[in-house]
Amino acid sequence: MGWANIYRRRLQVFAVALVIYLDYKAVQKRVKYLSKSKKDAIWERTHQRNAKRLLNLILQLKGLWVKLGQYLSTRADVLPEAYINALRQLQDSLPPRPLKEVRRTLKKEFGKSISDLFCSFVETPLATASIAQVHRATLKEGQEVVVKIQHEGIKEVILEDLKNAKSIVDWIAWAEPQYDFSPMIDEWCKEAPKELDFNREAENTRKVSENLCGKSVHNDNSPYSSPDVLIPEVIQSSEKVLILQYMDGIRLSDNEALEAYGIDKKKVVEEITRAYAHQIYVDGFFNGDPHPGNFLVSKQHPHRPILLDFGLTKSISSSMKQALAKMFLACAEGNHVALLSSFEEMGLKLRVDMPEQVMDVTTVFFRTSTPATEALENMKSLTDQREKNLKALQEKTNLNKKEVQRFNPVDAFPGDAVIFMRVLNLLRGLSSIMNVRIVYLDIMRPFAESALLGSLSSGPAMNTQWIYDTPIHSDVEAKLRQLLVEIGNEKILGIQVCAYKDGHVIIDTSAGVLGRYDPRPVQPDTLFPVFSVTKGVTAGMVHWLVDKGKLKFQETIANIWPEFGTNGKDVIKVHQVLNHTSGLQNAMGDLLRSDPLVICDWEKALKHIATLTPDTEPGSQQLYHYLSFGWLCGGVIEHASGKKFQEVLEEAIVHPLNIDGELYIGIPPGVETRLATLTIDISELDKFMEMNSRPDLPDSLKQGDILQMATSLPVLFNTLNIRRAIIPAANGHLTARALARYYAALANGGIIPPPHSNLSKPPLGSHTHIPKLPPLKPQKKKRGTKSSMKANPSDPSYSLVEIRTEDANGGTGGNKARRMFNNPKIRDAFMGVGDYSTLTLQDGYFGLGFRRFRSDNDKLTSFGHSGVGGSTGFCDVEHDFSLAVTVNKMSMGNVARRIVQLVCSELNVPVPDEFSEAGRKGPDMQLYRGS
């Protein structure tokens, strides 16, 4: 290309771009105060004249701009109809290049003339595209073929057009920051020149054909069925000429022919979508240019799609393939954690923490396609969603409206993801042009699942990485690991087990993966959601406040929480909440049924629970407080301490035990990549259905649908808004090593154990992430009530922390040991025995906040708390022993029970009745014990 031609093309591009931009800005101001009907008419005329301007420019420039126009013509789901009608002409053949040019290229590439190569050659091309034109021919051997011949000088044109396109996109991003397409054009600039080498395209065609049409993929035992498509055979190639097998097919734009042959257009698009899902998620090698011109439909029954043109083909790594699959499945299930994790794995970096809006935006790519007739409605929906997200972004960043429009929330966008999203958009446009509705989630899910589940298919015995590679602390840990391999991934998805004996770590094992759709290995610092195990942590905080003199077990709650003393609750005492006899076991039930997400609103939940009336007389019956326990204790903790709940958690438990970053009740932003994802053991759902008839099931559970609760819990608690909520009865996120250390301290009367094993990597307590807390709202004190707050929370020197030291004989000095509690009988308080026996029911499940366990000789020597689904933590006082198990595959199986039985038997520690074969089970264990 000469310089004159280069500048002419550049001037044309920028001139038309500027005219179109100014036209829209002028109309935007002009229609501001007009009626809707007048607005619509003016906008329609504006779209028509600018679409015509764009089409004329493309027809003049040809080259890369034809490809851009073809891409835009497929976006009937979002572009005005005027643009689709105008640019659709580009899907038909462009004016052909002269035959003498074709002859020169063939001679140059193969060293032979047309007559030497073919016995017949049709001079009129079948189609002429931006880079090449295609002629039908017959080889000397009689085989019918098509010959794809590159235009002379097209390489220089394409490279120049890319520069101009890049400049246009940069200018638009400056003028209208919300329309920043820089990542897409950057990736296109990198990939488009590869289309100019037809040898590369030939190799790509062979590879895709083998992946999609090879015999190996037609396997009935495969978790996904292979797509039923056709791909032409490669006959011969050079850099600028490609000879392919001829296939007689119908163009997707030829609606009359499609109907004449009785072709099911929806089935065709679904099969094309399946072919792309296979290429992306199974092969990791896909065509990045699925516009309508690259497909035909065979005329022979069963009218299979014919896939053409593999010039722009993208290869992605196994890790990127899994990340894209995880992104898709996270959208399908509304799993914010997995979505953010997939972003990090693929290298997509965000500047703001807005997981719900990110989910909304990402889900747009996988939404069900709409026919072209619904484009206007679809555009309005997307615009409304965008305005909603901009408003949320403005509130989050405190930027003004103008600033937020110029703010780009994405810091880095990987090229592989750009091409992936371009493919999804093209497929969506394809279905819109064909006027069919496609449910992408249903079609693509099996292929995305195969990308992740494939890495989990081998059992633990065959996979040396199934158990995380950390040193073995003891013989019992070696036997435990053998047991985990024996149980296998049929019952275990991800698991952590940690145990302390006499203050020292004897087990610290992690195995499995973070989630059903997350094949990363579980590590010692992986955070597991543990449901009611959280109650044991919350109870410890109440005991800590009592020990510090901020609270009394026999104190009425209304004395410290005045708003609570209504509707017969003025007699409820602190110990009655801890031992589940307050009568508020069903509190919040009605509100949760009407508004399940109310559990995310801490202040609203506290206010609501303060207005309720007990269902039973306080102190009369021990009825398990599944969720209300957390808000009751939480309200008591905040009002007694004068501090926020999470501040007390950090001060009472996390900091003294040096378990920072590994025990949260309501996770902060920034820990999502360490989170395990919940799933349910599908094979045991039938056991849930049998539970309603069980006589030992708590009455509060018989009122509900156990099966529905069991299947909905993982979905609900995988969402990030639930994980970030303060739900002190059920929303702990912790590691087994943090939980085992906590119970090791409780077993020894609050003496903090020596530092955790240095064999456990990363070191326990090395995560410094601390939640950012909202400012404390001062509590209004009612007249005539006594407040137990003994310190001014606004005083910066205010602290409840008091670390004492004592030697091994109980005196001060000597070998220093840090204590969490001052009370020498604190273990009796945990279990509700000795001096505290009058505060509990003699034969009740619970002491003061903890589930107390009996041994074979009926002695109360152990206490702890289990959670629905399988996680548990407990300690044995007499044997100075603690054990924690965290799992992410919720079941009614016996994984935790078998682990506890093995470890206890090896250490000669009595098996708590909760985990014995015939012992009585607590209410949470009833939800997952084996029959």
Look at residue 486 and tell me if it is in a domain.
no
Residue % of the chain over a pLDDT of 70 = 73
**What number of residues does the chain have?**
931
Q: Which residues contact 69 (CB under 8 A, 6 or more apart)?
A: 54, 55, 58, 87, 90
What are the structure tokens assigned to 290, written together?
Answer: 């699925």
End-to-end CA distance of the chain: 80
- Mean per-residue pLDDT for 2-9? 66
Residue 26 three-state SS: helix
Name residue 802's amino acid.
Answer: E
Three-state SS at 420: helix
User: Which of the residue ranges 75-89, 90-104, 496-510, 594-608 would you say has the lowest mean pLDDT?
Assistant: 75-89
Closest CA relative to residue 883, chosen from 869, 868, 901, 857: 901
- Catalytic, out of 289, 681, 876, 924: 289
- CB 468 within 8 Å of CB 524: yes
CB burial of 837-867 (b: ≥16 within 10 Å; e: otherwise) equals eebbbeeebbbbbbbbbbbeeeebbbbbbbb
pLDDT at residue number 288: 78
**CA-CA distance, 539 to 729, in Å (whole number)?**
10
Q: Report the alpha-carbon distance of residue 317 to residue 306 in Å, rounded.
A: 27
Contact partners, residue 563, CB within 8 Å, separation at least 6: 607, 610, 782
Q: Give the per-residue pLDDT at 307.
A: 94
Contact 553, 574 (CB under 8 A): yes
Residue tagged 């953010």 (tokens): 340
- The answer to the question of residue 186 being in a domain is no
Select the more confidently predicted residue: 805 or 732. 732
- The verdict on residue 478 lying in a domain is no
Q: Answer with the residue of higher pLDDT: 801 or 595.
A: 595
For the segment 530-545, what is each residue's pLDDT rounded down to a tens digit?
999 999 999 999 999 9
Mean pLDDT over the full length of the chain: 80
**Residue 507 forms part of a structural domain:** no
- Domain co-membership, 251 together with 326: no
pLDDT tens digits for 897-922?
Answer: 999 999 999 999 999 988 887 655 55
Residue 363 counted as domain residue? yes
309 and 326: one domain? no
pLDDT band for 12, please (50, 70, 90 cuts). Answer: confident
* Boundary of a domain, candidates 748, 777, 810: 748
- Both 630 and 706 in one domain: the answer is yes
Q: How high is the pLDDT of residue 699?
A: 47
Instruction: State how far the Cα of 254 lies from the Cα of 297, in Å rounded to an integer.
Output: 10
Q: Domain check: are 292 and 382 in the same one?
A: no
Distances (CA, A) of 91 to 73, 85, 87, 126: 8, 11, 8, 13
* Confidence at residue 700, expressed as pLDDT on a 0 to 100 scale: 44
Query: Are 328 and 284 within one domain?
Result: no
Instruction: Provide the CB-side half-sphere exposure for 872 (13 A, CA).
Output: 32
Decide: residue 176, CB within 10 A, 0-12 exposed, 13-18 middle, 19+ buried: middle
Please say whether the beta carbons of 331 and 359 come within 8 A. Answer: yes
What average pLDDT does this structure show over 809-826?
68
3-state SS record for 752-767: CCCCCCCCCCCCCCCC
In a domain, 479, yes or no: no
Full domain range(s) for residue 642: 529-694+701-748
Provide the b/e sequence for 281-304 (b: ≥16 CB within 10 Å): bbbbbbbbbbbbbbbbbbeeeebb
> In CATH, what number is assigned to the domain containing residue 626?
3.40.710.10
pLDDT tens sequence across 156-170 = 877 777 777 777 777
16-26 confidence digits (pLDDT tens)? 888 888 888 88
The answer as to whether 768 is a domain residue is no
The most confident of 101-105, 422-426, 496-500, 727-731, by mean pLDDT:
496-500
Is 77 a residue whose pLDDT tops 60? no
Domain end (from 263, 290, 315): 315
Are residues 105 and 35 part of one domain?
no
Q: Is residue 784 scored above 50 in pLDDT?
A: no
Give 358's pLDDT tier (boundaries 50, 70, 90): low
| Pair 129, 60 in one domain | no
Residues 422 and 354 in one domain: yes
Residues 119, 264 share a domain: yes
Domain with residue 263: its CATH number is: 1.10.510.10
Q: Is 93 exposed, middle or buried (0-12, 13-18, 19+ CB in 10 A)?
A: middle
Is 397 in the same domain as 255? no
State pLDDT tens for residues 38-47: 888 888 899 8
Q: 289 catalytic, yes or no?
A: yes
Phi first, then psi: give them for residue 885, nearest 5 degrees.
-130, 125
In a domain, 473, yes or no: no
Q: What total of structural domains would you count in the chain?
A: 4
Q: Are residues 625 and 715 in the same domain?
A: yes
CA atoms within 13 A on the CB side of 103: 9
Residue 581, Cβ neighbours under 10 Å: how many?
A: 26
Last-in-domain residue among 452, 473, 501: 452
Q: Sign of the CA dihedral 59, 65, 66, 68?
A: negative
CA distance 4 to 10: 10
pLDDT > 50? residue 806: no
Q: Check residue 329 and give its pLDDT.
A: 83
- Shared domain for 603 and 671, answered yes or no, is yes
CA distances from 181 to 167, 187, 241, 316, 785 (A): 11, 10, 33, 21, 62
Structure tokens at 506: 């004897």
